[in-house]
Amino acid sequence: MTQALRVGEAAITTAIATEPAVELKGITKRFPGVVANRDICLSVTKGHIHAVVGENGAGKSTLMKILYGMQRPDEGEIRIDGAVVNFHTPGDAIAAGIGMVHQHFMLADNFTVLENVILGSEPRKGGLAVDFAAARRKIKEISDAYSLGVDPDALVEDLGVGDRQRVEILKVLYRGARILILDEPTAVLVPHEVDELFDNLRVLVREGLTILFISHKLDEVLKVADSITVIRRGTTVASVDPREVTARKLAELMVGSELPSPETRESTVTDVVTLEVSGLTMADPGAGPVAKGASAEELRAAGVRLLLDDISFTIHKGEVLGIAGVEGNGQAELVEAIMGMRAINAGTVSLSGADITGWSTLKRREGGIGFIPEDRHRHGLLLEAPLWENRILGHQTREPNVKGIWIDRAGARKDTQRIVEEYDVRTPGIDVDAAALSGGNQQKLIVGREMSGEPALLIASHPTRGVDVGAQAAIWDHLRNARAAGLAVLLISADLDELIGLSDSLKVILRGRIVADVDPASVTPEQLGSAMTGAGEETA
């Protein structure tokens, strides 16, 4: 049958499946001061990829947590394969055949793939010893059946992001999942890894699995989804056929505006150097003791593996320098070296003419460096602390957070309210814990905090990761305005359109080395992706 859903003046007709694997009817969830979900209805066809899209704070994550048993709805009904279910815990959902792959991977780095997969579901021999042989056979069978290509004996800390994600998928399949919830699965992937993931998902649905795909990347949603549900302000506003809608139309349904573009072409670059990095070299800590001050050439000659290999560049006032690279090729080490979070073996870092190589991280921050970290949970927020306390993090020695040697609660609270309003952080108030915010709203709080205080340099690692198209456009605007006012920006991003659109200059990093300089005014995402994987190494 068909059903017409009206959004404002537009009516969108969509085919509704007669045999849904998942049905959510009238789901409502209230929290103090906010209704996260209001009368949400959703029907997911068995053996399909069903995307759920919406802006940050629209209620997507809450809805998925309800389906996975992490939270209970105040009203409404959940049906799995036609039967009404009541989940009290994720264990109940797992028993019903539902698995969830979270945006932030839940893997132990110091465990092997096998150990991570079986953790909590260990097969036993004689009721006592873990039957590793049986587990290994089962993991290999699943990996082969769904073309996951996972090595059960690999150490997780040695895996790239795409491989880790496949481990997470294998982990839920090992527990018998027939319905998979993927929360922002492409947020940390580069284009070829996204293509590999989509290939894996297509294999899964061909084998009869059902997938709920949560994402902000509308072009990817249109590429992979069989059907799409749009959520706005906590309620469903449309169900659409991806063959009959554009990314621009989806953006309009989500946030009431057109799909934004990161395009920046007017130059604001000056002759004044803000950041100068020279010969930055970092040896792999696992290489053992190395001579202090040894150059990259000397370390290479000694057979030492380098995480950063003789990296040099400058960023001028009013310039955005983009760094493109497949995850795990030295971007994180480069950022942490500039921030003083990791020791280097050779090289220097200068900020506005001052040699800051020996400075502490706090002194570098006080010297004018803002920092949007790659992992907002590990390095950006205290999740169990209120928003106003998170405003202070990294800025605890500067106004408006202090008066003399004392924390200025009133000043910090007032400025937190300013950030909430200026950066559209969706929250009931500044006293709620950061954990209560959606990932995108957490990101907007961090961006607002780090853009405050007029920094000379902003190190932005994936500044729009996990945010919706409206918030993404707002963050881009803030970066453009600050750049025009003289801010120097080091931009790390897996979004190649973002890198190309925002950058004044663009470098490619591969295996810890700068291997290419490309012109963002002329390079295509395909050419940039080729350079990132090594095809453009000879152009360095």
Position 13 scores a pLDDT of 35
| Residues 6 or more apart whose Cβ sits within 8 Å of residue 301 | none
Q: Please give the structure tokens belonging to residue 487.
A: 């801010």
Query: 2-97+178-252 falls under which CATH superfamily?
Result: P-loop containing nucleotide triphosphate hydrolases (3.40.50.300)
Same fold, 2-97+178-252 and 272-368+456-464+485-540: yes
- Secondary structure (3-state) at 437: coil
pLDDT in tens, the chain (540 residues): 333 333 333 333 333 445 799 999 999 999 877 788 999 999 999 999 999 998 777 888 889 999 999 999 999 999 999 999 999 999 999 999 999 988 777 888 899 999 999 988 888 887 678 888 999 999 998 888 888 888 899 998 888 777 888 898 899 999 999 999 998 888 767 777 788 889 889 989 998 999 999 987 788 899 999 999 999 888 898 899 999 998 888 888 887 666 667 776 688 899 999 999 999 999 888 766 676 677 888 888 888 888 999 999 999 999 999 999 987 889 999 999 999 999 999 999 999 999 999 999 999 999 999 999 988 888 899 999 999 999 999 999 988 999 988 999 999 999 999 999 998 898 989 999 999 888 788 999 999 999 998 899 999 999 988 777 777 888 898 999 999 999 999 999 988 889 999 999 999 999 999 999 999 999 988 888 888 887 644 444
Amino acid of residue 300: R
Position 256 scores a pLDDT of 66
Backbone angles phi, psi at 263, to 5 degrees: -55, 125
Alpha-carbon span 63 to 73, nearest angstrom: 9
Alpha-carbon span 32 to 71, nearest angstrom: 15
Query: Left, alpha or beta for 57 (phi > 0: left; psi -120 to 50: alpha)?
Result: left
Position 16 scores a pLDDT of 40
Residue 320 near residue 267, CB atoms below 8 Å: no
Q: Please give the structure tokens belonging to residue 525.
A: 């995402």
Q: In Å, how far are 3, 168, 218, 278, 291 from 241, measured between CA atoms?
A: 12, 29, 13, 52, 61
Alpha-carbon span 465 to 123, nearest angstrom: 38
Residue 324 near residue 507, CB atoms below 8 Å: yes
Q: What CATH number labels 272-368+456-464+485-540?
A: 3.40.50.300
Helix H or strand E encompassing 506: strand 505-510
Residue 29 near residue 62, CB atoms below 8 Å: yes
Least Cα distance to 469 among 159, 257, 224, 190 occurs for: 257
| Residues 6 or more apart whose Cβ sits within 8 Å of residue 241 | 14, 15, 227, 228
Alpha-carbon span 144 to 29, nearest angstrom: 40
DSSP structure string for 170-232 = HHHHHTT-SEEEEESTTTT--HHHHHHHHHHHHHHHHTT-EEEEE-S-HHHHHHH-SEEEEEE
State the DSSP code for 508.
E
**Could you state, in order of their start, the residue ranges of all structural domains in the chain?**
2-97+178-252, 107-176, 272-368+456-464+485-540, 374-454
Q: Please give the structure tokens belonging to residue 179.
A: 């319905």
Alpha-carbon span 233 to 56, nearest angstrom: 9
Alpha-helix residue ranges (DSSP H) falling in 37-177: 60-67, 90-95, 113-118, 132-145, 161-174
